């Protein structure tokens, strides 16, 4: 007995063929079909909803087929447009209250429609630019709070190395610890949010580099700045091998070399990065200082991002 092959909604496919430019139809139709069949292996219902969403998402001015018009452009002369504009303005002034209600209502409706579209588009396209996105997982931690179970995106610090050692499906693990430290260059000093990360960060995530190599974080004396941060401190982006001083909790001031510069972080990224510092510096300076001051007696909790095969979402 053969397995019924799933098909996308026919009406949505016809709508795509109706509006899409013939030169773009084959490419766009191929993309949405490929996404549909990939999703259909997991859930046919989700695959159909995503197919409909993608059809409407490609309904853009540049993708719409052009129709030939038989009338002369002279019929839409400047005088006629001016006449229409004056007539419309007079109609609005004569019926000011109803016209105002209609204009405000239309404006609110358009604003709501655009906002909903942006929210949905952001939800479905968040972090989709990562090349290995289909193998990226965020490790979650279930915590009991009273009678409820809460999901936290922070897990025990020591879990990172043991997870990779004990599970062959895990290719690599990236730990992330966020903090705020004083960053200085000459007379320029700011308190900046910084990210302590493992050296495999750029092997897991596809953030593009403007200057410097991908292995910059393998040297614990290197840091990575974003394009905006480089301009903020140096007034330019080509700052590889320049130096910045960072002040740690025990009044330790350490000078780092800039190993690489990130391109401006994409808007669809869920990470908002300023400065990346190799994880060993957090272990030796930040965590050690807090343990010394008695701020916590339990292992710190960090975010983990893993690249794995053979796992399910």
Name beta bridge partners: 303.
176
DSSP secondary structure of 170-220: EEEEEEEEEEEEEEEETTEEEEEEEEEE-TTHHHHS-PPEEES-TTGGGST
* Prediction pTM value: 0.58
Highest mean pLDDT, choosing among 20-29, 76-85, 282-291: 20-29
| DSSP code, position 286 | I
Mean pLDDT of the chain: 80
The model's pLDDT over 190-200, given as tens digits with 9 standing for 90+, comes to 999 999 998 88
CB atoms within 10 A of CB 220: 15
Cα angle value 135/141/144 (rounded, 5°): 155
- Token digits of residue 285: 């300076």
Residue 202's φ and ψ, nearest 5 degrees, are -80, -10
Highest mean pLDDT, choosing among 131-140, 207-216, 263-272: 207-216
The model's pLDDT over 240-287, given as tens digits with 9 standing for 90+, comes to 999 999 998 777 788 999 999 999 887 778 788 889 999 888 888 776
**Radius of gyration, CA atoms only, the chain:** 27
How many Cα atoms within 13 Å fall on the side-chain side of residue 111? 6
Name beta bridge partners: 304.
175
**Residue whose entry in the numeric block shows the structure tokens 């655009």:** 114
> How much is the pLDDT for 258?
94
- Token digits of residue 92: 């609005």
Q: Is-contact 135 278, C-beta < 8 A?
A: no
């Amino acid at each position: 007995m053969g397995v019924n092959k799933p098909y996308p909604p026919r009406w949505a496919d016809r709508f795509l063929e109706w509006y899409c430019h013939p030169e773009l139809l084959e490419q766009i139709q191929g993309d949405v079909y490929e996404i549909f069949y990939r999703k259909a292996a997991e859930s046919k219902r989700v695959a159909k909803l995503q197919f409909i969403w993608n059809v409407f998402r490609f309904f853009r001015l540049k993708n719409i087929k052009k129709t030939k018009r038989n009338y002369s452009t002279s019929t839409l002369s400047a005088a006629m447009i001016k006449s229409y504009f004056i007539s419309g303005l007079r109609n609005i002034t004569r019926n000011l209250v109803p016209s105002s209600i209609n204009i405000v209502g239309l404006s609110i409706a358009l604003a709501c429609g655009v906002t909903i579209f942006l929210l949905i588009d952001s939800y479905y396209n968040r972090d989709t630019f990562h090349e290995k996105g289909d193998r990226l997982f965020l490790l979650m931690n279930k915590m009991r709070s009273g009678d409820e179970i809460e999901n936290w995106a922070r897990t025990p610090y020591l879990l990172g190395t043991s997870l990779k050692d004990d599970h062959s499906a895990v290719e690599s693990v990236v730990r992330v610890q966020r903090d705020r430290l004083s960053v200085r260059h000459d007379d320029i000093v700011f308190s900046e949010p910084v990210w302590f990360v493992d050296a495999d960060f750029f092997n897991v995530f596809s953030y593009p580099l403007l200057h410097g190599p991908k292995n910059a974080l393998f040297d614990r004396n290197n840091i990575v700045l974003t394009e905006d941060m480089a301009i903020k401190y140096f007034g330019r982006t080509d700052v590889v091998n320049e130096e910045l001083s960072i002040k740690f909790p025990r009044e330790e001031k350490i000078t780092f070399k800039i190993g690489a510069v990130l391109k401006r972080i994409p808007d669809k990224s869920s990470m908002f990065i300023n400065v990346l510092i190799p994880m060993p510096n957090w272990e030796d300076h930040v965590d050690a200082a807090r343990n010394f001051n008695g701020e916590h007696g339990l292992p710190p909790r960090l975010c983990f991002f893993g690249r794995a095969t053979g796992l399910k979402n």
